[in-house]
Structure 1
């Protein structure tokens, strides 16, 4: 074995979401802090959450994932605690890092609930962790992060299987020639040009499509969702709903959508795909199915532990299926820079 790096705990890090109507306002205030979002826009988004009882599914899914990772660590004889903290909703990272310190833990390894390289999906979480450690002060643990891992088998395999399950929901006459749409959170194009986000998503989509459809009978593409911000700022396109309507105009009769960019079930999947995209497909006469997120697949928790073990021991294989090469453990200084604030 190579020289090992010791860690005392695993920390799962996510965006977070409200778990009741009283949490929606504080959650949205954290998400939009410093961005000058008009109160009317905040009220509009709050009303969306109210339609779902003020609850996002992400926190419940992260609790289940933490339990699954704990079990997988134990199965591999790692006697380590698993913590979970959020950027924007309880349990907040600062509180969780304080708990880690109070438990006497000196070094933790963090996994972030997005495998892709972009400011908001990667570097910003590092900044969040640094800020949480500063807020804790003396005795704060040292926290490293696992590498971006868009092409790990524990991501690609479950995503392919869930998409194949979704395709099987169509009657045969609709399934033949159905289009595969891989959806991810849109970004401003200027920001996307500074990172590997788009290339990684396309690489992951290709890997999944090849497994679901090795004969190439289903056209596929990456589409975008959850656009926000000024309408005058260009964002990645096409929007998933817009693309469904344009495909309908081309004669396409069925689309299967995979939430590739969001492996953990969350509110944006529920609103943008299950509600808005599905409604636009119905209006356009297009049959619509959405593949399930993969966070509750046993291979996903196994992936998290794989990423822990490769960091623990440099002789452990770093699993990767794609053609873009492995990302480094620590992001270079010029990687995924923060967006300019006007």
Structure 2
């Protein structure tokens, strides 16, 4: 009998599940929001308004439990494939912090890590800001270890933006099809994602396709897949949620509540809300969609259900481990001076780069932040 071939994840000796983080209780909410908005000079009075979203759920964000569930699911999928790759979890904005996860991995003997960010799309807030946090965390760990300036104790690579990976798309199709079991078959499908400032949208195009274009590509794939499985065409739109900042600053629109109002005025009577821009049912989903948007729908007389996010669905978790194996093969090829094999993707947009290009995903087009970022050829790019 021929033994099964175990995939190779070298040169990586640990996997970093890298997320946003969230408060664990009421006393954490304001300190957490201060972390999120550090450097923006936002007074506590304004943060207190956002804090009410968390206090609505007892002061704890669901994201931490969801990250633990995803970590467990990744460990299970890795073990099922015979892969001995430890998984550590770190957050940008709350415990366990990125620097703590990196320190733990280093103490356990890891020297090269692969990071999976819990954001499928490419933009400043979904990619580059995580890479900046990685660089800062590596600097702090180097200081703790007494290393010379500019020397880092770990190499950290990153899985590319995976919005158009088949596992992510398949998991979203499954969730949408299930949601249609609770509404009339002619329900309008409204995809929802986190809004970003127009300036960030313009800057995101350097990555290969603008943030909105990435979502439109995925939405078209999910709607087509759902239409095929449901046996009838599904009409769909893309809307946004969670905008913040001053009213004078333009952000991507339409807001999901405004869009529901417009749909009701056009005679639509039922909708499915699909949180395609999110990996898990964290606060933006639990409050902005499950609380506010569903309340808006009810006030308009719309029958509305919310589809699940991909969470720990099998196609998504399987797809993430596929990406790990794929990125490891790419790293081995690049280390050997060879051209990596083509990566897997679906839709009309190409697969995003394993190594972020210079100037990728800045906050504003043409205005480098000057903050070093990991996982790129040039830390200041």
After superposition, give the CA deviation of every residue in 1:53-81 in whole Å (9 maximum; x if it has no partner).
Answer: 11111110110111111111111121111
CA contact (8 A) 2:199 2:363 kept: no
SS in 2 for 1:85: strand
Which residue does the alignment assign to 2:196? 187
Q: Could you say if the C-alpha distance between residues 222 and 216 of structure 1 is closer, same or farther in structure 2, counting changes exceeding 3 Å?
A: farther
Which residue does the alignment assign to 2:156? 143
Which residue does the alignment assign to 1:45? 50
After TM superposition, the structure 1 = structure 2 runs for residues 194-213 of structure 1, keeping only pairs within 5 Å, are 194-195=203-204, 196-213=210-227
Distance 1:338 1:227 in 2: 15
SS in 2 for 1:194: helix
Distance 1:284 1:36 in 2: 38
Distance 1:216 1:239 in 2: 27
Offset of residue 336 of structure 1: 1.0
Distance 2:317 2:311 in 1: 7
Counterpart selection for 1:15 from 5, 17, 20: 20
CA contact (8 A) 1:162 1:294 kept: yes
Distance 2:341 2:167 in 1: 16
SS in 1 for 2:90: strand
Tell whether 2:131 aligns with 1:126.
yes
Offset of residue 317 of structure 1: 6.5
Q: Could you say if the C-alpha distance between residues 316 and 264 of structure 1 is closer, same or farther in structure 2, counting changes exceeding 3 Å?
A: farther
SS in 1 for 2:305: strand
What number of residue pairs does the alignment pair up? 337
After superposition, give the CA deviation of every residue in 1:83-110 in whole Å (9 maximum; x if it has no partner).
Answer: 0111111101111111111111100000
Which residue does the alignment assign to 2:321? 305
CA contact (8 A) 1:12 1:66 kept: yes
Which residue does the alignment assign to 1:261? 277
CA contact (8 A) 2:170 2:316 kept: no
CA contact (8 A) 2:171 2:310 kept: yes
After superposition, give the CA deviation of every residue in 1:274-325 in whole Å (9 maximum; x if it has no partner).
Answer: 0000111111111111001111212222111111100111477632111111
Offset of residue 177 of structure 1: 2.3
Which residue does the alignment assign to 2:251? 235
Counterpart selection for 1:290 from 295, 299, 306: 306
Q: Could you say if the C-alpha distance between residues 140 and 329 of structure 1 is closer, same or farther in structure 2, counting changes exceeding 3 Å?
A: same
Distance 2:196 2:303 in 1: 27
CA contact (8 A) 2:239 2:253 kept: yes
Which residue does the alignment assign to 2:242? 226
SS in 2 for 1:168: helix
The structure 1 segments of at least 4 consecutive aligned residues displaced by more than 2 Å after TM superposition are: 214-218, 314-319, 338-341
Which residue does the alignment assign to 2:346? 321
RMSD, aligned α-carbons: 1.9
Which residue does the alignment assign to 1:162? 175
Q: Which runs of 5 or more structure 1 residues have no equivalent in the other structure?
A: none
Offset of residue 4 of structure 1: 7.7
Offset of residue 338 of structure 1: 2.5
SS in 2 for 1:180: strand
Distance 2:341 2:95 in 1: 34
Distance 1:221 1:24 in 2: 33
Which residue does the alignment assign to 1:90? 95
CA contact (8 A) 2:92 2:98 kept: yes
Distance 2:102 2:185 in 1: 50
TM-score, normalising length: structure 2: 0.85
CA contact (8 A) 1:176 1:217 kept: no
SS in 2 for 1:72: helix
CA contact (8 A) 1:309 1:316 kept: no
Distance 1:276 1:48 in 2: 10
Tell whether 2:345 aligns with 1:331.
no
SS in 2 for 1:182: strand
